[in-house]
Amino acid sequence: MQFRMMDGYGYGMGYGMGILGLIFWILVIIGLVLLIKYMWQGGQWRREQESALEILKKKYARGEISKEEFEEKKKDLL
């Protein structure tokens, strides 16, 4: 028994390859967007976050905590 393309056996591969091709191009576009974003930020994925001690110093400088609280919490951090 011979199978021809018109019998329906060849169409499944075409749709599957089309979906894989679409997924491939979506991933390529996402990769390019992420690369451009990375380069736009100057090569830094994440901006450096403040350490707990820096936050504590700022709270003390703003007068949100007393000197005793600052010293106590500083000891806990170190």
Please give the DSSP secondary-structure letter assigned to residue 5: G
Tens of pLDDT, residues 20-56: 888 999 999 999 999 988 887 776 655 567 788 889 9
- Please tell me the least confidently modeled range out of 2-6, 13-17, 23-27: 2-6
Q: Say how far apart CA 59 and CA 54 lie, in whole Å.
A: 9
pLDDT of residue 68: 93
Q: What is the pTM of this model?
A: 0.41
Closest CA to 76 of 48, 50, 49, 52: 52
Please give the DSSP secondary-structure letter assigned to residue 66: -
pLDDT of residue 15: 65
